[in-house]
Chains A and B, each alone.
Chain A
Amino acid sequence: MSESPEGSASVGELVLSLRGISKNFGAVSALTDIDFDVHAGEVVALVGDNGAGKSTLVKILAGVHQPSSGTINFRGRPVTLPDPRAALTLGIATVFQDLALCENLDVVANIFLGNELSPLRLDEVAMEMRAWTLLNELSARIPSVREAVASLSGGQRQTVAIARSLLLEPKLILLDEPTAALGVAQTAEVLNLIDRVRARGLGVVMISHNMEDVRAVADRIVVLRLGRNNGVFEPDASNQDLVSAITGASNNAVSRRAERLRMERDHSAQAGEQHP
C-alpha cells in the first residue's frame, strides 16, 4: 500500500481542507471523522463502494447537507455551507450526476440559466460571446451554441454542464460520476476536459466507480469505506490494493485472479529456468 502522507501531493495552494467531518442521518452515521484535502491544480478522485459516503461528502461540499460535526476550511478560512447558493458564492461548483440541463433551451441559455446578463433585456450577444470563450478554453467540441441541448450527445452535454459550472469562476469543482453513462469516445472527451480544468489551476474532486478513468486523470485517489477514510493512493497503485481498500477484503475475485496470474508467472519463470 503506497499511502502518501498528507501534503506530499501538493501541487499548489490548499483550496479545501476538511477535518473530522461526521454526518449522521438519525441513528445512521453516513460519515465518520473524515479528513480530506484538495489543492489548486489537483484532481482528487473519491472512490468507494455504494453507500461508502461519497455522495454525502459531495453534498456537504455543495451545501445540500450540513455536517453534524467537523470543520471545513476553504482557502485557509473556516466556512459554513448552509445552502447551495453559499457554496456557489464561495467558489465551489458542482456538476451533478444527472447533469441538470434544460433540454428545451439552447446551450447559451443553459450555461447562463439563473445568472443571465441584464435580466430585463437579455444581452444575448454578450452571453453568446462568453459561452464561446468558456467552451474554447475547454477546447470543447460543441457544433453550435444556438441549438437546443436536446440535439447534443451525452459527452457534449457533460461538456456544457462543466462549462456551466465554470461560469462563476469557481476555485473548486465537484464532479459526481462524470463518465457514468458515457461511451468510450465521450468518456475520453470528458477526461480531457478534466485535464484542462486542472490546467486552469482549479481543484477538482471527481467521484467515479471506474478505476481506469480514475487512474487516467487523478493525482490522488481517496478511498472511503463505510463512511470512514480508508487510505489515500497514488494513481499507479495496483488494482488489487484499491479494490481491497474499497471492499475491505483482501480475498475477492480481483485479488484471487492477481494471485493466480502471479503464480502462473512464477511457474513459467521456473520452467524457463529449468529448460533454457
Chain B
Amino acid sequence: MTEQGNSTPLALDRADARVKHAAGIGGAVRAFLDRVRSGDLGSLPVIVGLVVIWTVFTSLNPVFVSSSNLVNLLFDCSTVGVIALGIVCVLMVGEIDLSVGSISGFASAMVGTLWVNQGWPVALAILAALAFGALIGSLYALLFNRLGMPSFVSTLAGLLAVLGMQLYILGSTGSINLPYGSALVDFGQLMVMPKWVSHTLAATPGSAMLLSGLRTVARRRAANLSTPSVAGLVLRVATITIGLELIVAYLNQSRGIPWMFGLFVGLVVAMNYALTRTKWGRSMTAVGGNREAARRAGIKVRAIYLSAFALCSLFAALGGVLAAARLASASQQAGTGDVNLNAIAAAVIGGTSLFGGRGSAYSALLGIIVIQSIASGLTLLDLSSSLRYMITGAVLAIAVIVDSLARRSRASHGRA
C-alpha cells in the first residue's frame, strides 16, 4: 500500500520493507548469485560443463573447435535435439517416454518405405510418419489417463512393440537408401543458410528481447508496478547479440549454419514461448508440480497429459525423419542404441527436472550440444564407442546428481 505522506509513492509491489529488491546492474548480479547459492541453478551447470568439455577436447585435439567440426556438430545435434525437445514436454508433467528412439526409427523406416519403395510424394510420407508418432503418443496418454498405466511401463512396452514394427516393415532387406540429391537428403546433409540470413537471424533474439522488454517496462510503469532496470536489459541484449553474431561469423568461415539446425532452434524457441507465455504452458507446469491442485483449479488434466505425450512422440517421429535425412538411409539400426538415452540425457543435462514441474525448452538445446560435443570429441580422439558410452553415462549421472542436490538445496531455501 502506498504511504500517503511519502513524496515518492511506492510501486504497488514495493510496499513490503522485508523484501530485498535488486536495483540496477549490481543488484541484478547480486540477485543472480543469491539464486545460485540457494540451488536455483538454471542453465549454469550445463554452461560450466560445456566450457570444461570444450577446453579438455580442444587441448587434446585442436581440430575440435575448428569451424568445420562445429558445423558438423550442429548437423548432428539437430536430429536427437528435436527428440530431446519432446522429452522436455513429458518431463514437464512428471512423466517419461522411453520409446522415443523406437518411434524415431519407425518414422524413418516409414518415410523410406512409403517414399522410396511405394513412390508416395515425400511430403506425404513425412506427414504420415508424423501422424503415426502423434498417434502412438495419444495411445500412451489413453493408457495413462483411462487405465492408470504408469508411463514408464507403457512406453517400455512401446519401445519393444514399435521396434518390432520397424523391423517388420523394413523386412529382409534391412535398410532402404534415400536418393542423394533429393531435397530431404540435401536438407539433412548439405543445406546451409546464406551468410546474410544467418547474421539477420542472430540479431533477431536480441531485438525481440529489447522490444518486448521495453514494452513490459512501459506497461509496468503505467500500472504502478516496479520496473526492471533498462540498463540491465540493454546489457543482456548487447551480450546475447554480440555473442551470437560472433558465433555465426566463426561458423560462416566454414560451411555456415545448417538449415536443419535452424529448424531445431526455431522449434525450441516456439516451444519455449508455448511453455512460458501461454495458458497451456502454465497448465503443463501446474500439472507437473501438483496434479490435484491443477485439477481443482479447473484445468483439464487429462487433456494436458494427452498433449504432452502426443507432442513428445510427434517430435520423436520428426527427429527420426531428420535422422534419416542426415544418414540418407532408413535402416534397422535407426533409433536403436543410444538415441533413446541421449535424448533423455540431453533434456536432463540441460536442466529439466526428472521430477516434473521444472524445465525449459532451452534445456534440450544446451543438453544436446553437451552430448554431441562429447561424442564428437571422443570420435576425434579415435576412441571406441565403449568409452563413449561410459563417459556419456558418467556425465548423465553427474547431471542427475546436480539436479537432486539443487532440488534439496532449493527445498531448504524455500524455493520450488
Residues in chain A within 8 A of chain B (CB atoms): 84-85, 88, 96, 98-105, 109, 113-116, 119-122, 124-126, 128-129, 132, 136, 139, 141-152
Q: Are B277 and A122 neighbours in the complex by a CB distance under 8 Å?
A: yes
Which of A125, A145, A148, A152 is within 8 Å of B216, CB to CB? A125
| C-alpha gap A128/B12 in the complex (Å) | 10
| C-alpha gap A104/B288 in the complex (Å) | 9
Nearest CB on A from B408, distance (A): 13
Bitwise, B284-299 to A at CB < 8 A (1) or not (0) is 0110111011101111
| C-alpha gap A85/B296 in the complex (Å) | 10
Closest 7 CB pairs of A and B: A119-B279, A104-B289, A148-B416, A114-B297, A151-B414, A104-B416, A150-B416
Give the residue name and chain of the B residue nearest to A125 (CB).
Answer: B219
Q: Are A144 and B19 neighbours in the complex by a CB distance under 8 Å?
A: yes
Which residues of B lie under 8 Å from residue A129 when comparing CB positions? Answer: 12, 223-225
Which of B277, B290, B298 counts the most A-chain CB atoms under 10 A from its CB?
A: B290
Which residues of B lie under 8 Å from residue A116 when comparing CB positions? Answer: 279, 282
* B147 sits at the interface (CB 8 A): no
Which residues of A lie under 8 Å from residue B292 when comparing CB positions? Answer: 98, 100
* B358 sits at the interface (CB 8 A): yes
| C-alpha gap A120/B278 in the complex (Å) | 5
Which of A101, A128, A139 is within 8 Å of B225, CB to CB? A128
* B16 sits at the interface (CB 8 A): yes
Q: Are B357 and A104 neighbours in the complex by a CB distance under 8 Å?
A: yes
Q: Are A151 and B415 neighbours in the complex by a CB distance under 8 Å?
A: yes
Q: Are A102 and B289 neighbours in the complex by a CB distance under 8 Å?
A: yes
Can you give 19 contacting A-B residue pairs, CB < 8 Å? A100-B292, A102-B286, A102-B293, A102-B357, A104-B288, A105-B282, A114-B297, A114-B298, A114-B299, A116-B282, A119-B278, A120-B278, A120-B279, A122-B277, A122-B279, A128-B13, A129-B225, A148-B416, A152-B414
Q: Are B297 and A103 neighbours in the complex by a CB distance under 8 Å?
A: no
For the residues of A in contact with B, the DSSP-based class is loop
| C-alpha gap A129/B12 in the complex (Å) | 8
Which of A109, A113, A120 counts the most B-chain CB atoms under 10 A from its CB?
A: A113
Bitwise, B9-20 to A at CB < 8 A (1) or not (0) is 000110010110
Which of A85, A145, A149 is within 8 Å of B416, CB to CB? A149
Residues in chain B within 8 A of chain A (CB atoms): 1, 12-13, 16, 18-19, 216, 219-220, 223-225, 277-280, 282-283, 285-286, 288-290, 292-294, 296-299, 357-358, 410-411, 413-416
Which residues of A lie under 8 Å from residue B358 when comparing CB positions? Answer: 104
Which residues of A lie under 8 Å from residue B357 when comparing CB positions? Answer: 102, 104
Which of A122, A126, A128 is within 8 Å of B282, CB to CB? A122
Which of A113, A124, A128, A148 is within 8 Å of B297, CB to CB? A113
Q: Are B286 and A85 neighbours in the complex by a CB distance under 8 Å?
A: no
Give the residue name and chain of the B residue nearest to A101 (CB).
Answer: B293
Q: Are B298 and A88 neighbours in the complex by a CB distance under 8 Å?
A: yes
Q: Are B414 and A109 neighbours in the complex by a CB distance under 8 Å?
A: no
Q: Are B298 and A103 neighbours in the complex by a CB distance under 8 Å?
A: no
Q: Are A102 and B290 neighbours in the complex by a CB distance under 8 Å?
A: yes
| C-alpha gap A119/B299 in the complex (Å) | 13
| C-alpha gap A234/B415 in the complex (Å) | 44
Total number of residue pairs linking A and B with CB closer than 8 Å? 109
Which residues of A lie under 8 Å from residue B225 when comparing CB positions? Answer: 125, 128-129, 132
Q: Given contacts A102-B285, A122-B282, is CB(A85)–CB(B223) below 8 Å?
A: no
| C-alpha gap A144/B18 in the complex (Å) | 10
Which residues of B lie under 8 Å from residue A126 when comparing CB positions? Answer: 223
Which residues of B lie under 8 Å from residue A120 when comparing CB positions? Answer: 278-279
Q: Are B289 and A113 neighbours in the complex by a CB distance under 8 Å?
A: no
Q: Are A100 and B297 neighbours in the complex by a CB distance under 8 Å?
A: yes
Q: Are B414 and A113 neighbours in the complex by a CB distance under 8 Å?
A: no
Give the residue name and chain of the A residue nearest to B19 (CB).
Answer: A143
| C-alpha gap A84/B292 in the complex (Å) | 14
Q: Are A132 and B13 neighbours in the complex by a CB distance under 8 Å?
A: yes
Q: Are B299 and A113 neighbours in the complex by a CB distance under 8 Å?
A: yes
Q: Are B279 and A143 neighbours in the complex by a CB distance under 8 Å?
A: no
Nearest CB on B from A125, distance (A): 5
| C-alpha gap A119/B298 in the complex (Å) | 14
Which of B223, B279, B286 is within 8 Å of A105, CB to CB? B286
Which residues of B lie under 8 Å from residue A152 when comparing CB positions? Answer: 414
Given A119-B278, A124-B216, A152-B414, 13 more pairs with CB closer than 8 A: A102-B357, A104-B358, A109-B286, A113-B293, A113-B294, A113-B297, A115-B297, A129-B12, A132-B13, A136-B12, A139-B1, A150-B411, A150-B416
Which residues of B lie under 8 Å from residue A103 when comparing CB positions? Answer: 289-290, 416
Which residues of A lie under 8 Å from residue B224 when comparing CB positions? Answer: 129
Give the residue name and chain of the B residue nearest to A112 (CB).
Answer: B282
Which of B286, B288, B415 is within 8 Å of A113, CB to CB? B286
Q: Given contacts A122-B277, A128-B13, is CB(A136)–CB(B1) below 8 Å?
A: yes
Give the residue name and chain of the B residue nearest to A132 (CB).
Answer: B12
Q: Are A122 and B220 neighbours in the complex by a CB distance under 8 Å?
A: no
Nearest CB on B from A153, distance (A): 9
| C-alpha gap A161/B297 in the complex (Å) | 11
| C-alpha gap A99/B290 in the complex (Å) | 11
| C-alpha gap A254/B169 in the complex (Å) | 79
Which residues of B lie under 8 Å from residue A125 when comparing CB positions? Answer: 216, 219-220, 223, 225
Q: Given contacts A105-B289, A122-B282, A125-B216, is CB(A148)–CB(B415) below 8 Å?
A: yes
